[in-house]
Chains A and B, each alone.
Chain A
Amino acid sequence: MNEELKPTVLVIDDEESIRTWLKGLLVSLGCEVVGEAENGQEGVELFKKERPDLVLLDVRMPVMAGGEALDYIMLEDPDARVVLLTSVRDSESMFELMTAGAQYYLHKDNPPDKVRAVLQEQIEKLKTSREDGST
């Protein structure tokens, strides 16, 4: 795959092991991880700086929670592609966040294969919309 076309991703989650895992997974799926942040504030700053193709955003974090960070990111770029990271039990807040502009959500505690499948799908969508020139 052409180096230039590697989708760029930003990972925002307060749990270090989650970031390590997802980074490794994203790389194995052919992405380039351009940054990682452990709270919403850092995440928004990195987003502004790197303008990644895809953002993985944890909904529950200290120092600016996912919801607020999402709003800031959407403000910065309404076309930003954000996938929310959540646990299965967080379903209530998901609807609100999805309507706020996130593309999809990912249950971190699903079986790893499912997590991989969801990410793969989102990356495919990204590539397709890129090819269509609609990003």
Chain B
Amino acid sequence: MGAAKPNVEDGGERLLAQTIKNIARGDFGALDFLYTIPAVEGVAPRVAELAESIGLLTLKLEARDFHLELAADAEERLKELNQLKDKYLGIAAHDLRNPLSSIRGMSQMLVEDALDEETERAFLKSIHNVSDQMLTLVNDLLDVSVIESRKFSLRLAEQNLGKLAAERASLVARSAETKGIKLCSDLEDVADSLFDIDRMRQVVDNLLTNAIKFSASGTTVHLGCRQTAKGLEITVSDEGPGIPSGDIDKLFGTFQTLGNQPTGGEKSTGLGLAIVKKIIDAHGGEITVDSEVGRGTTFAVHIPLEPAA
């Protein structure tokens, strides 16, 4: 929007009026013309000053608007985090309170009552198992909280994912054997790559223990690791019950425990896969599920050789 052409016959008054109108609209282009008209020459510097102040004020307002927007976004985010925190607290409280009640009950009876050996053993075993369960839940909750708070950052180092997979496989081999499950590894030689070893260890452990958890005796769990065009892939397959297609979307949600029951009575916090997904996302990778009810499930994790910035 340019300034009006100067109409010198009017003695510049009209130009002045026009200029002021333009400045009000944020267009300072007409200022220069003012200096060319003797009648309003004296006023020109004052008008220029005014224009400058208005310009500065506008800038300040724009900056303030921008900050207000940022603040509104931050508030949204805080509200979200608060709600999440409340949700986790609620679930944690419930999932921890129950076992605690039973630990109190059982331990009191162990101390005060004359119990037969069978009951005594059952109580002690239960207290032991449930303590493990509670510890896992607390650790998972802390993990999720760190990851959600975006303070989560990866500690990257150059290392070998294939070696990590082999190591984790040999560690879970025993619990697989106990359940009568065969663990088969097919690990290709892969190049070293940049990843967070603690977090990827968590990922591999979670996928392996899940596969074993939901597998029945006599079945096989397959662990694979190979190099792809763009990075590295780890696959974990089981011959378990499979996941109904309707449930697959919910798989990576927090506190999701779906219909399938662990075959050995193990407990699920419902947080494992959510944490796994966040770790993979942070590496710039991808996790996919291929499953069919009655056939089994395959989880495939793909991470680039180097996480994107």
A-B complex is real: yes
> Does B274 sit at the interface, judged by CB under 8 A?
no
> Does B129 sit at the interface, judged by CB under 8 A?
yes
> Does B127 sit at the interface, judged by CB under 8 A?
yes
Q: Is A24 within 8 A of B97, CB to CB?
A: no
Q: Is B101 within 8 A of A109, CB to CB?
A: yes
Q: Is A21 within 8 A of B259, CB to CB?
A: no
A24-B115, A24-B122, A112-B104 given as contacts; is B109 within 8 A of A18 (CB)? Answer: no
A18-B102, A87-B94, A108-B101 given as contacts; is B126 within 8 A of A25 (CB)? Answer: no
CB of A85, distance to nearest CB on chain B (Å): 9
Pair count A-B, CB < 8 A: 73
Q: Is B126 within 8 A of A20, CB to CB?
A: yes
CB of A106, distance to nearest CB on chain B (Å): 11
> Does A17 sit at the interface, judged by CB under 8 A?
yes
CB of A5, distance to nearest CB on chain B (Å): 20
Q: Is A27 within 8 A of B130, CB to CB?
A: no
- Which residues B62-115 have CB closer than 8 A to chain A? 93-94, 97-106, 108-109, 113, 115
Task: With CB as the reference atom, state the residue of chain A lying closest to B258.
Answer: A62
Q: Is B130 within 8 A of A28, CB to CB?
A: no
A21-B106, A21-B123 given as contacts; is B97 within 8 A of A16 (CB)? Answer: no
Report, nearest first, the 3 A-B pairs whose CB atoms are least far apart. A17-B102, A21-B102, A20-B126
Q: Is A25 within 8 A of B94, CB to CB?
A: no
CB of B153, distance to nearest CB on chain A (Å): 35
Task: With CB as the reference atom, state the residue of chain A lying closest to B119.
Answer: A24
> Does B257 sit at the interface, judged by CB under 8 A?
yes
Mark A12-32 against chain B: 1 for CB-CB distance below 8 A, else 0: 000111101111110110000
Task: With CB as the reference atom, state the residue of chain B lying closest to A107.
Answer: B101
Q: Is B109 within 8 A of A17, CB to CB?
A: no
A25-B109, A28-B113 given as contacts; is B130 within 8 A of A16 (CB)? Answer: yes
> Does B246 sit at the interface, judged by CB under 8 A?
no
Q: Is B98 within 8 A of A87, CB to CB?
A: yes
> Does A6 sit at the interface, judged by CB under 8 A?
no
Grouping DSSP codes into helix (H, G, I), strand (E, B) and loop, the A interface class, with mixed when no group exceeds half, is helix
Q: Is B130 within 8 A of A112, CB to CB?
A: no
Q: Is B106 within 8 A of A17, CB to CB?
A: yes
- A binding-site residues for B, Cβ under 8 Å: 15-18, 20-25, 27-28, 60, 62-63, 87, 89, 108-109, 111-113, 115
CB of B59, distance to nearest CB on chain A (Å): 54
Q: Is A15 within 8 A of B102, CB to CB?
A: yes
CB of B110, distance to nearest CB on chain A (Å): 9
Mark B139-150 against chain A: 1 for CB-CB distance below 8 A, else 0: 000000000000
- Kindly list chain A residues whose C-beta atoms are within 8 Å of the C-beta of B218: none
Q: How far apart sit A70 and B101, CA to CA, in the bound complex (Å)? A: 23
CB of A84, distance to nearest CB on chain B (Å): 14
CB of A78, distance to nearest CB on chain B (Å): 30
A–B pairs, 12, beta carbons within 8 Å: A16-B265, A17-B103, A18-B102, A22-B102, A22-B105, A24-B122, A87-B97, A87-B101, A108-B98, A109-B101, A112-B105, A115-B105
